[in-house]
Amino acid sequence: SQQGEEDPQALSIQEGENATMNCSYKTSINNLQWYRQNSGRGLVHLILIRSNEREKHSGRLRVTLDTSKKSSSLLITASRAADTASYFCATDALMNSNSGYALNFGKGTSLLVTP
Amino acid sequence: NAGVTQTPKFQVLKTGQSMTLQCAQDMNHNSMYWYRQDPGMGLRLIYYSASEGTTDKGEVPNGYNVSRLNKREFSLRLESAAPSQTSVYFCASKIDRGRYYGYTFGSGTRLTVV
C-alpha cells in the first residue's frame, strides 16, 4: 500500500492566497520530499526535508515535518495560476529487504489556482 | 547532460504482446527505479535496482521483469501485456552518496494495452 496520504485530495484557491497541503505516512523515514506534477507531465522535485529537520523554506515554499505524528505539510504562499498542478509527498525509506532506499508516494493533492 | 531518458514516450500494445521500456541516466547514479502511475493515484514502485547487478521487487512487481544492463541502463519488460498494465511509467535514478538527494525522474512512457 502507498506510504503517504495527502489531504485534501483537491484544493481550489484564488491567486494570492496561500495553499496548504498535508501528508501523513506510516513508517520510519530517511527524509520526506515534495514533488509537483503538471497535467500529463513528469515530476519535478520541489523540496526535501530530512528526518532530523522540522522546517524548511525554499522561495514561496515552506515545509514542516513532525516525525512524532508522522506528518508533513507543504505551504505555498502567494499562489499563482502557474502553481496549478498535482502535489505529491514521498517518503524516502529503506525497503523491507534492506537492499536500498526507495520513494513511496501518496496519492497527491490536486491544486487549482484561479486568476 | 540529459538526466533520465525514457523511450518510447507513447506505446499502444495489444493484449498478450510483449515490449521493453528503456531507461538510461547519464548522472552516474547508483540506484534506479521503475514506477507506474494510474489515474488519480500517486506513483507505485514496480522494481528498483540499488546498484549495478542487483534488482528487487517493489510494491507492484507482478507481470513485469527488469534488467540492470549496466550502471546507466535499467529496462522494464512486459512479457504478456494486459489491459491492467495501461498506465504511465516513470523511471527514476538517485545517487546514494549521503542518501539526502532528491530523485531525478524521466518524462514518462504512456502505455495503453487494448
- Kindly report the three-state secondary structure assignment for every residue of B15-75: CCCCEEEEEEECCCCCEEEEEEECCCCCEEEEEEECCCCCCEECCCCCCEEEEECCCCEEE
C-alpha A96/C-alpha A53 separation (Å) is 24
Question: Residue B102: its pLDDT value, please?
Answer: 73
Q: Is residue A4 pLDDT above 70, yes or no?
A: no
Question: Residue B51: its pLDDT value, please?
Answer: 87
For chain B, what is the mean pLDDT? Answer: 92
Judge: B105–A43 Cβ closer than 8 Å, yes or no. Answer: yes
C-alpha B48/C-alpha A96 separation (Å) is 12
Share of chain B above pLDDT 70, in %: 94
CB A15 within 8 Å of CB A105: no
> Is B47 in CB contact (< 8 Å) with chain A?
no
C-alpha B52/C-alpha B62 separation (Å) is 22
A39-94 pLDDT per residue, tens: 888 899 999 999 999 999 999 999 999 999 999 999 999 999 999 999 999 998 88
Confidence label for B100 from pLDDT (cuts 50, 70 and 90):
low
Question: Residue A1: its pLDDT value, please?
Answer: 46
Q: In terms of Cα–Cα distance, which of A35, A62, A67 is closest to A51?
A: A67
Question: Residue B107: its pLDDT value, please?
Answer: 93
> Is B71 in CB contact (< 8 Å) with chain A?
no
B21-34 pLDDT per residue, tens: 999 999 989 899 99
List CB contacts (< 8 A) between A95 and chain B. 48, 56, 58
Mean pLDDT confidence for A84-113: 88
Q: Is residue A101 pLDDT above 50, yes or no?
A: yes
> Is B42 in CB contact (< 8 Å) with chain A?
yes
Q: Is residue A23 pLDDT above 80, yes or no?
A: yes
Q: Is residue B99 pLDDT above 60, yes or no?
A: no
List CB contacts (< 8 A) between B59 and chain A. 1-2, 104
Q: Which three cell numbers stand for residue B11?
A: 506505446
Share of chain A above pLDDT 70, in %: 93
Confidence label for A29 from pLDDT (cuts 50, 70 and 90):
confident
Question: Residue A97: its pLDDT value, please?
Answer: 64
CB A37 within 8 Å of CB A85: yes
